[in-house]
Amino acid sequence: MVERWLEPLGLLHGDTARVALVAGHAAALRGEGRAFTLARLIEAGREVGLVPVAALPEAWRPLLADLAQPLPGFARLERREGRPLVMGILNVTPDSFSDGGRYLDHRAAVVAGHAMLEAGADLLDLGGESTRPGATPVDPEAEIARVVPVIRELAPHATISIDTRHAATMRAAIAAGARVVNDVAALREAGALEAVADSDCSVVLMHMPGLDPATMQSRADYPDVALAVQRFLAERIAACEAAGIARARICVDPGIGFGKTLAHNLALIDRLPLLHGLGCRVLMAASRKGFIGRLGREPVAERRAPGSLAVALAAAERGADMLRVHDVGETVQALRVGAAILAPPGEGA
């Protein structure tokens, strides 16, 4: 059977989406007040056409029904105020690219976590090992010692995600109360699939070429980066389902900055709607990353909030379900305003 994918284009929101749906000029996108008017047709790994939804060939129409299906909430969390979920980044590492060393003391990390929740974070992503290019690897024992005390204190108050590649850390974090595993290696490390399958937690699968963040940039070579990422994630979803992890528990992340050039990053943001065809929630994690500094001419990561907000709004408009960010309060405010602009009159007030 020939593999076919449909990439939604010409996205509409709110009343405009509803009017276009009634008129037959658009197709529904995940049943959340969104629709699309154009479709890029992809067959056997290559683009074969760009057509209006109303003129879609009959053989492709079953894909419209799939894209129209609403998805369940992720980790028991539902989108709020017409905006994506906001995942606050909490690194207890000495060498993360933006905030390394700030929250090594677990009390400081707990205070910072509560501040993010107060600012509007829907969940917190706790990491004990930096995955930036050139970072020093951390053994699971040290990683567990960094993250577990913080998880134990924050888990009664919030949904906690553990950002790790290591199965032992996953198991320890889940036992301490984490409800999400966020894995840059997409559960390819030994024992990782089993660690998630043996629990009821949700998982974020990210695209990264290879398994070593230290060498990933040397692999940044793709004929079509969006299709390469989509194909990789489809394969990892299949591996998860074969291991007993239901698709409803999975969120996908295109891996901005992980084995990608500037052009790759921009293409993945622009073509984010392609990932909706995977039948999973979609995460965008671009906050303060190097490409924002390059485009915005800001070498200091902590000063990249404006550029990060630009990416957040672009991703939200393209249907992102969750955003992983450092600047929680600023992002929530921007998303609320953006959602109000896109919402029908009277909503978002």
What is d(CA 276, CA 274) in angstroms, rounded to the nearest whole number? 6
d(CA 288, CA 238): 31
- One-character DSSP codes across 78-137: --BTTB-EEEEEEE--S--TTTTTTT-SHHHHHHHHHHHHHHT-SEEEEESS--STTPPP
Q: Is residue 79 part of a domain?
A: no
What is the rounded CA–CA span in Å between residue 130 and residue 171? Answer: 19
Is 77 contained in some domain? no
Same domain, yes or no: 55 and 98 = no
Beta strand pairing call for 34-43 and 46-52? antiparallel
In one letter, which amino acid is 246? A
Query: Are residues 48 and 106 both part of a single domain?
Result: no
The 8-class DSSP code of residue 172 comes to: H
Cβ neighbours, 10 Å, residue 190: 8
Q: Which residues contact 304 (CB under 8 A, 6 or more apart)?
A: 287, 288, 289, 292, 293, 296, 298
What does pTM read for this prediction? 0.94
Look up residue 200 and give its DSSP letter.
-
What are phi and psi for residue 333, nearest 5 degrees?
-60, -45
End position of a domain, from candidates 22, 41, 68: 68
Query: Mean pLDDT of all residues in the chain?
Result: 93
Q: Cα 6–9–12 angle (5° rounding)? A: 125
Specify the pLDDT at position 104.
Answer: 61
Percent pLDDT > 70 in the chain is 94
DSSP 267-333: HHHHTGGGGGGGSSEEEE--TT-HHHHHHHT---GGG-HHHHHHHHHHHHHTT-SEEEES-HHHHHH
Give the up-direction half-sphere exposure of residue 23: CA atoms within 13 A in the CB hemisphere: 11
Which structural domain, as residue segments, surrounds residue 337? 85-342
Nearest to 322 by CA among 159, 192, 195: 159
Is 291 part of any domain?
A: yes
The pLDDT of residue 289: 97
Residue 228: what pLDDT? 96
Do 181 and 33 have their domain in common? no
Q: Are residues 157 and 191 in the same domain?
A: yes
pLDDT reported for residue 348 = 44
Q: Are residues 91 and 236 in the same domain?
A: yes
Instruction: List CB contacts of 107: < 8 A, sequence separation 6 or more.
Output: none
For residue 76, is it within any domain? no
Q: Decide: helix, strand or coil at residue 44.
A: coil
| Residues labelled catalytic | 289, 324
Q: Do 122 and 159 belong together in one domain?
A: yes
Type of residue numbered 6 = L
Low-confidence residues in the chain, pLDDT < 70: 1, 95-104, 133-134, 344-349
Contact (Cβ atoms closer than 8 angstroms) between residue 276 and residue 284? no
pLDDT at 275: 98
Question: By C-alpha distance, which of 162, 83, 176, 84 is closest to 129?
Answer: 162
293 phi and psi, to 5 degrees? -60, -40
> Is residue 265 domain-shared with residue 133, that is, in the same domain?
yes
Count of domains observed in the chain: 2
Q: Based on the fold, state whether residues 182 and 275 are members of the same structural domain.
A: yes
Q: How many CB atoms lie within 10 A of CB 156?
A: 8
Angle between helices 262-270 and 305-317 (to 10 degrees): 40
